[in-house]
Amino acid sequence: MTAIKHALQRDIFTPNDERLLGIVNVCKAGKKKKNCFLCATVSTERPVQVKVVKVKKSDKGDFYKRQQTWELRDLTEVDAKDASKENPEFDLHFEKVYRWLASSTAEKNSFISCIWKLNQRYLRKKVEFVNVSSQLLEELPKAEESVPSGESQSVAGGDEDALDDYQELSTREEQDIEGMMEMCEYAISNAEAFAEQLSRELQVLDGANIQSIMASEKQVNILMQLLDEALGEVDTIEGKLSSYEEMLQSVKEQMDQISQSNRLIQISNTNNVKLLDEIQFLVNYMDLSKGHVRALQEGDLTSPKGIEACINASEALLQCMNVALRPGHDKLMAVTQQQLLFAELRDTFARRLTNHLNNVFVHQGHDQSSTLVQHTAEMSLPKHSPLHRDLLRYAKLMEWLKNTHREKYEGLSRTYVDYMSRLYEREIKDFFEVAKIKMAGTTKEAKGKFATLPRKESALKQETESLHGSSGKLTGSTSSLNKLTVQGSNSRRSQSSSLLDMGNMSASDLDVADRTKFDKIFEQVLSELEPLCLAEQDFISKFFKLQQHPTVTPPLAQPETEEADGSMPSRMPPQAEHRHSMSSEKDIVRLMMNKIFQSIETELNSLIALGDKIDSFNSLYMLVKMSHHVWTAENVDPASYLSTTLGNVLVTVKRNFDKCISGQIRQMEEVKISKKSKVGILLFVTAFEEFAELAETIFRNAERRGDLDKAYVKLIRAVFVNVEKVANESQKTPRDVVMMENFHHIFSTLSRLKISCLEAERREAKHKYTDHLQSYVINSLGQPLEKLNHFFEGVEARVAQGVREEEVSYQLAFNKQELRKVIKEYPGKEVKKGLDNLYKKVDKHLCEEESLLQVVWHSMQDEFIRQYKHFEDLIGRCYPGSGITMDFTIQDMLEYFSSIAQSH
């Protein structure tokens, strides 16, 4: 092992400036034995680096090489496995656990002892040793006594300090040793003899040294005397030092007292600074100026300057009340008194502000009534912008009241809603009364009478209810409306009250100017209501500060309803109140608007009912106008009161529109025709044409075109069904004529109006018209040449039964003589006479409105020529070479038809 150690030191560690202090021959535990050496080394240069190096013998030669190196500072634990029994296994814990099996237990213990000493000296006991005997962790383990001197020559065999101080021989020392060995001939050949010689010389030198020391006894005594004197001086100096120490001790006590005093002074100063800071904080944040106090107690709430002063004072008061007090402030009497003062000022100012705004609301609610008659006579609603402008000056004060006195804020909200709802109710009712009178076309005298009559006369209510029934209550002077209803049986408006009245009423009798007037009045009503509602909603949002964050719903937003027995409803349960309190402020605004304008929806429905009663066509105008205003309101704010209300009214308008369409279809189904007169163009066909023309004009740029398209489809299908029904029931006019004329009229109407959703019905109408025209022509032409038709029908029947065409002439009933006999019965003069009678008959069948006589006559001419050519063809095929021909030619027929048409 010694030779291996020297070889490793020379070949591996000396070139790297390292010293080998411990070595052990190991192999990995549990695997096939591949021996290697673990070496403990230190560097020769400062700072010292301690390493554990794994060295392996090369397979290709007799030399060693480094395989792996670990820093000793990375070693965390050394596990010897068993402290009481001999066990060659041990573990080293670096970044992972390495398990080793030493060649002997002694080598393992020596290596672990070396690691322990290096750990004690360089790592300050950082490494943890587990299962290691305490005897092993000593300077000279007893276990190493049995180890051969050559194998234990390492750090484990001697003192760590001696090993640490080991140095190689200098050059001079080497030269002296070489000189001494040269003087002895057997220094190399007989080392023991050389050693004995050196020992003897050393003993001689030691004896000389002892004799020299004994010869110097006198000097030793002198030295001892000097040492005694020195000790005396030391005692003297120690006495002085003790006195000095006592003096310093008293000074130290005095300095400690001074330091204690300074510390107390510093604490006092710190406390004074903190106290001053607290006082300044309270003075700065809880002190209200006299001017603010005066403004809160006596400030003028009518002038702009006074309002501004009150706003500043209220904000300062709120800031003082909301200041975040530090711990302990609430126990100070001054703070408590100041808080009581602030609470008193808050209550006083809140009471003054509430009383003032209540008076303003009441005054404005009563003062506006003087201008109602003037505005309603002009059919316009009073503008409330001056009121809103005056009240918005108090918006910041309302926000302050909302944050400080919730009850008073809610009370003001209820008061405002109460008075404004009364004001708006009067204005809106008067406005709608004027609108209804203008719609009904009352005279100027009636308007003047309206301006002077009392509002709530029972007679007026009875007149209104007689006009509208249950559709809604109208107030004001409406006697002219009743007159209109009484006289309506002979007027144009009563004629249009039902779009498809089959009696003497027709939509075409209405004056377009009247409908335009209604459209303008209805549009003006909506145009007046829209800015009124938007302005009021904007004012409520700004004045009551309901546009930013969710808050508690004021009681005013809860609709006041009564139970069936007239008693007030019970208080809402806590759960319902909690859900209500989570409503957004937009919902609160909408609820306030619902109460303020609670009469708008009722009045609009009443106005719509009146318009629908005056003229069912008005539902078209109202649907378009209402749809446009709903679309506009939804674009501004889909959740606004205006959008919701107009949407509800739009449902009513759409329902009236659908009811009008259903009524028209029902009237079509109930139509009755006269048995004595020809049918002509049916009234509901003409009515559909007028409806479509008017609807296309009204819905040209409308948003709800889909509603009209659906109505078109329903109406046209009903028209088709009932035209066919009337044609089947007609006795005076042939069925084909009824179908042909009416479907021609429908086709012309749809082609002219170009209604895209009815394109399929347009093609169907054309098809029906063409089919029935052809059927009528064929049926009518069978009469002028009746016997000739029957003869050739028999010929065609024989051919169809299998008789050859050239053999038909041999049939008794269809021989040439019979053919000549039949042809002689229809000379040109008779044919012309028959055609003339046919023309007269067709003229009686057809109506003048459609002007289809010439069309039918031309079709008959074409069909007659086709039949003539067909007869000539049958004569040529069935009677070849007979020379039999008709008594008239095609040219003769054309002259007959032309002359007959010109003569009539």
| Whole-number pLDDT of residue 812 | 80
| Whole-number pLDDT of residue 677 | 67
Of 308 and 828, the structure prediction assigns the larger pLDDT to 308
Name the residue among 800, 846, 809, 829 with its Cα closest to residue 900: 829
Name the residue among 430, 483, 481 with its Cα closest to residue 453: 430
| Two tokens, residue 900 | 């007959």
Rounded to the nearest 10 degrees, how much is the dihedral formed by the CA atoms of 428, 433, 438, 440?
Answer: 140
pLDDT digits 0-9 by tens, 874-887? 888 888 877 788 77
Name the residue among 214, 36, 40 with its Cα closest to residue 114: 40
Name the residue among 773, 478, 694, 485 with its Cα closest to residue 606: 478
pLDDT-wise least confident of 277-286, 671-680, 681-690:
671-680
330 DSSP assignment: G
Q: How many Å is the maximal CA-CA distance in the chain?
A: 202
Q: If you average pLDDT over residues 517-546, what whole number do you get?
A: 86
| Whole-number pLDDT of residue 566 | 38
pLDDT digits 0-9 by tens, 169-207? 678 877 888 787 777 777 677 778 888 888 888 888 888
What is the b/e burial string over 820-829, where b = at least 16 CB atoms within 10 angstroms of the residue's CB?
eebbeebeee
Q: Where are the domains of the chain?
A: 1-136, 245-286, 290-425, 678-782, 784-902
Q: If you average pLDDT over residues 232-237, what whole number do you get?
A: 92
Q: If you average pLDDT over residues 1-23, what whole number do you get?
A: 87
- Amino acid found at 902: Q
In a 3-state reduction of DSSP, which class is residue 419?
A: helix
24 DSSP assignment: E
Of 561 and 262, the structure prediction assigns the larger pLDDT to 262
∠ Cα 761 764 765 (to 5°): 85
pLDDT digits 0-9 by tens, 345-402? 889 989 999 999 999 888 876 655 545 445 545 678 888 888 888 889 998 999 888 8
Q: If you average pLDDT over residues 834-855, what whole number do you get?
A: 71
| Two tokens, residue 812 | 């008794």
| Whole-number pLDDT of residue 763 | 92
| Whole-number pLDDT of residue 64 | 84
| Two tokens, residue 603 | 């009045």
| Two tokens, residue 741 | 């004329």
| Whole-number pLDDT of residue 555 | 41
| All residues at 6 or more sequence positions from 708 whose CB lies less than 8 Å from its CB, including other chains | 620, 695, 699, 702
In a 3-state reduction of DSSP, which class is residue 453?
A: coil
Residues in the chain: 904
- For the four alpha carbons of 135, 141, 146 and 147, in that order, the dihedral sign comes to positive
pLDDT-wise least confident of 521-530, 585-594, 772-781:
772-781
Summary mean pLDDT of the chain: 77
Based on the number of CB atoms within 10 Å of its own CB, is 401 exposed (0-12), middle (13-18) or buried (19 or more)? buried
68 membership: H or E segment, kind and range: strand 64-71
The residue written with tokens 């041990």 in the block is 90
Of 615 and 369, the structure prediction assigns the larger pLDDT to 615
Q: If you average pLDDT over residues 715-738, what whole number do you get?
A: 85
Q: Is the pLDDT of residue 748 over 70?
A: yes
| Whole-number pLDDT of residue 570 | 42
| All residues at 6 or more sequence positions from 314 whose CB lies less than 8 Å from its CB, including other chains | 296, 349, 396, 397, 400
| Two tokens, residue 478 | 């409406």
Q: If you average pLDDT over residues 29-49, what whole number do you get?
A: 83
Based on the number of CB atoms within 10 Å of its own CB, is 116 exposed (0-12), middle (13-18) or buried (19 or more)? buried
| Whole-number pLDDT of residue 474 | 29
For residue 734, whether the previous peptide bond is cis, meaning omega lies within 30 degrees of 0, is no
| Whole-number pLDDT of residue 367 | 59
| Confidence class for position 138, pLDDT limits 50, 70, 90 | low
**What is the bridge-based pairing of β-strands 128-130 and 77-79?**
parallel
Residues 332, 330: Cα–Cα separation, whole Å: 6
Name the residue among 632, 611, 629 with its Cα closest to residue 620: 611
pLDDT-wise least confident of 59-68, 260-269, 332-341:
59-68
Q: Mapped to the 3 state alphabet, what secondary structure does 97-132 carry?
A: EEEEEECCHHHHHHHHHHHHHHHHHHCCCCCEEECC
- The segment with the largest mean pLDDT, out of 30-39, 299-308, 504-513, 639-648, is 299-308
| Whole-number pLDDT of residue 469 | 35
| Whole-number pLDDT of residue 170 | 73
| Whole-number pLDDT of residue 241 | 92
pLDDT digits 0-9 by tens, 269-319? 999 998 888 888 888 778 888 888 898 888 898 898 999 999 999 888 888
757 DSSP assignment: G
pLDDT-wise least confident of 27-41, 50-64, 602-616, 836-850:
836-850
Residues 536, 548: Cα–Cα separation, whole Å: 17
Helix, strand, coil percentages, rounded to 5, for the chain: 70, 5, 25
Q: If you average pLDDT over residues 724-751, what whole number do you get?
A: 85
- For the four alpha carbons of 734, 739, 744 and 745, in that order, the dihedral sign comes to positive
pLDDT-wise least confident of 308-312, 459-463, 573-577, 712-716:
459-463
| All residues at 6 or more sequence positions from 520 whose CB lies less than 8 Å from its CB, including other chains | none
Q: If you average pLDDT over residues 455-469, what whole number do you get?
A: 36
| Two tokens, residue 719 | 């028209």
Contact 741, 749 (CB under 8 A): no
In a 3-state reduction of DSSP, which class is residue 854?
A: helix
| Whole-number pLDDT of residue 613 | 86
Q: If you average pLDDT over residues 466-488, what whole number do you get?
A: 32
Q: DSSP assignment of 578-639, as one string?
A: HHHHT--HHHHHHHHHHHHTTTHHHHHHHHHHHHHHH-TTHHHHHHHHHHHHHHHHHHH-TT
Percent of the chain with pLDDT over 90: 9
Q: Bridge partners of 28?
A: 100
∠ Cα 387 391 392 (to 5°): 115
- The segment with the largest mean pLDDT, out of 647-656, 668-677, 777-786, is 647-656
Q: Is the pLDDT of residue 833 over 90?
A: no
| Whole-number pLDDT of residue 269 | 92
How many secondary structure helices (H) and strands (E) does the chain include? 32, 8
| Whole-number pLDDT of residue 487 | 33
| Whole-number pLDDT of residue 87 | 86
| Whole-number pLDDT of residue 492 | 31
Q: If you average pLDDT over residues 65-79, what whole number do you get?
A: 89
| Whole-number pLDDT of residue 40 | 93
Q: If you average pLDDT over residues 29-52, what whole number do you get?
A: 84
CA 399 vs CA 323, 350, 402, 405: distances in Å: 18, 12, 5, 10
| Confidence class for position 157, pLDDT limits 50, 70, 90 | very low
| Confidence class for position 23, pLDDT limits 50, 70, 90 | very high
- Amino acid found at 831: V
| All residues at 6 or more sequence positions from 771 whose CB lies less than 8 Å from its CB, including other chains | none
- The segment with the largest mean pLDDT, out of 214-218, 298-302, 782-786, is 298-302
| Whole-number pLDDT of residue 84 | 81
Percent of the chain with pLDDT over 70: 80
Name the residue among 176, 91, 165 with its Cα closest to residue 128: 91
Which CATH code is given to the segment(s) 1-136?
A: 2.30.29.90
Predicted TM-score (pTM) of this structure: 0.51
The residue written with tokens 């070693």 in the block is 75
Number of Cβ within 10 Å of residue 407's Cβ equals 11
